[in-house]
Amino acid sequence: MTMEKNVERGLFDEVMVPCYNPMEMIPVKGEGARVWDQDGNEYIDFAGGIAVSCLGHCHPAMVKALNEQGSKLWHLSNVMTNEPALRLAKKLTEISFAEKVFFANSGAEANEAALKLARRYAADEFGPEKSEIIAFKQGFHGRTFFTVTVGGQEAYSDGFGPKPGDITHLPYNDVAALQAHISDRTCAVMMEPLQGEGGIVSPTPEFVQAVRELCDKHNALLIFDEVQTGNGRTGDFYAYQGLGITPDILSTAKSLGGGFPIGAMLTTTELAKHMKVGVHGSTYGGNPLACAVAEAVVEITSDPKTLAGVKEREVLMREGLQKINDKYGIFSEIRGKGLLLGGALNEAWQGRARDVLVAAGKQGLMMLVAGASVVRFTPSLVITPEEIEQGLARLDKAIASLV
């Protein structure tokens, strides 16, 4: 399967804003957990974009939803509503704590809506001095100026002029630090229920409990950023459902569209009423094509069989990674939950996550990193056991080429 090359990697440097540094090879086709590049080389996909393609590439149910909606109606302004948006919102409220949904186009936008709602609610109910947002070091919430400032890596928000204010960063999983800092001035606490970009760091049960209790004590809202963890990724439909607490606001994107851009903010009726007509909005939010695809995705990812399958695949991935580690002694820890897994590189391999990723690419495996010293795996939730085995065999070869 060789395809004609009319676009080459060099064109990126000519015409694209250089805020990315993409790989040399150019993928042109995907099917399930496999991808092919322009030269017909085949890859097993353990990345799925960045935890986006939760049903693999070109899943028949998604293709069908897109084609059907694509020949009916593509777009309406928010002066109208549309069937797919309302069906999807209904479905999301049925499978989560949420009673109300706001549609956006990305994770950052869903988080932007979440933060604006929290600020507006606190201002309406308690007055303007209740504006502090507490978030966590190494957290990631997107690239708009508000969300990137709430994120826990200053390097990403520095250099753009005055930052949105009253945002505090505390260490993740540090109950004492939160207890010492939170006050009645705190408007909201925003966290990922498993830090993704920050290195695949799970919260401790004590931390999760304490965050909820301290928020309640100080009338602060708890915002869960489930952009990466949501839609079945951790083996629960939303990660909060496996943690024994419920947030007040939840953001979801990435796997929600499975490859079609969409994000959503979920909340309660009580909170949602503070976003009156005109308070917030989005031109494309709730787009019929996006919602039709997401509806097909959610139908499958919320199925208990799919969720049970994620847990089975987690076992296969962990066993395989452990075997590789027994052979090469590369990881200090294999961590994460469901199919959001990380291998933390040990002392001797510090800073070499990207080397592993590049070597994997040469062996026909697409994977991710989470920082300089953690390799990350976020395959399709319906990847076959055989594909997991093949992918792990390629990872084994890639690591062998580095030792």
Is there a binding annotation on residue 89?
no
Please identify, using beta-carbon distances, which residue of 139 and 364 lies nearer to ligand PLP: 139
Q: Determine the Cα–Cα distance for residues 189 and 214; give it in Å rounded to an integer.
A: 10
Provide the minimum distance between the beta carbon of 71 and ligand PLP in the complex, in angstroms, as a whole number. 27
- Give the CA radius of gyration of the chain: 21
How many angstroms separate the CA atoms of 236 and 229, rounded? 9
Residue nearest to ligand PLP (CB): 107
Exactly one of 132, 197, 295, 314 binds ligand PLP (CB under 6 A); that residue is 197
- The residues that bridge with 250 in the sheet, in sequence order, are 224, 266
Residue 253 interacting with ligand PLP (CB under 6 A): yes
Among 141, 274, 313, 335, binds ligand PLP (CB under 6 A): 141
Choose which of 133, 227, 266, 294 interacts with ligand PLP (CB under 6 A): 227
Residue 253 or 265 with smaller CB distance to ligand PLP: 253
Q: Among 44, 89, 108, 262, which residue interacts with ligand PLP (rule: CB under 6 A)? A: 108
> Residue 99 is which amino acid?
E
Binding region for ligand PLP (CB under 6 A) out of 4-12, 139-147, 163-171, 336-344:
139-147
**Contact between 112 and ligand PLP per CB under 6 A:** no
Smallest gap from Cβ 72 to ligand PLP, in A, equals 26
Closest to ligand PLP by CB, 46 vs 349, is 46
Nearer to ligand PLP, 37 or 225 (CB): 225
Smallest separation (angstroms) from ligand PLP to the CB of 261: 7
d(CA 299, CA 305): 11
* Nearer residue to ligand PLP within complex by CB, 141 or 169: 141
* Interface positions, 307-336, toward ligand PLP (CB under 6 A): none
- By beta-carbon proximity to ligand PLP, the closer residue of 48 and 320 is 48
Residue 238 Cβ vs ligand PLP, minimum distance, rounded to whole Å: 13
Binds ligand PLP (CB under 6 A): choice among 107, 286, 371, 379? 107
Task: Give min distance, CB of 263 to ligand PLP, in A.
Answer: 6
Q: Going residue by residue from 167 to 196, which x/- string records binding to ligand PLP, judged by CB under 6 A?
A: -------------------------x---x
- Shorter beta-carbon distance to ligand PLP: residue 106 or 373: 106
Is 198 a residue that touches ligand PLP (CB under 6 A)?
A: no
Three-state SS across the chain? CCCCCCCCCHHHHHHCCCCCCCCCCCEEEEEECEEEECCCCEEEECCHHHHCCECEECCHHHHHHHHHHHCCCCCCCCCCCCHHHHHHHHHHHHCCCCCEEEEECCHHHHHHHHHHHHHHHHHHHHCCCCCEEEEECCCCCCCCHHHHHHCCCHHHHCCCCCCCCCEEEECCCCHHHHHHHCCCCEEEEEECCCECCCCCECCCHHHHHHHHHHHHHCCCEEEEECCCCCCCCCCCCCHHHHCCCCCCEEEECHHHCCCCCCEEEEECHHHHCCCCCCCCCCCCCCCHHHHHHHHHHHHHHCCHHHHHHHHHHHHHHHHHHHHHHHHHCCEEEEEEECCEEEEEECHHHCCCHHHHHHHHHHCCEECEECCCCEEEECCCCCCCHHHHHHHHHHHHHHHHCCC
Of 197 and 236, the one with the shorter C-beta distance to ligand PLP is 197
Q: Has 204 been labeled as part of a binding site?
A: no
Q: Does 47 bind ligand PLP (CB under 6 A)?
A: no
Closest separation in Å from C-beta 142 to ligand PLP:
4
Alpha carbon distance 15, 24 (integer Å): 16
Can residue 295 be called a binding residue for ligand PLP (CB under 6 A)? no
Question: Which residues sit in the known binding site for N(2)-acetyl-L-ornithine?
Answer: 143, 282
The binding site for ligand PLP (CB under 6 A) comprises 106-108, 111, 140-142, 192, 196-197, 225, 227-228, 253-254
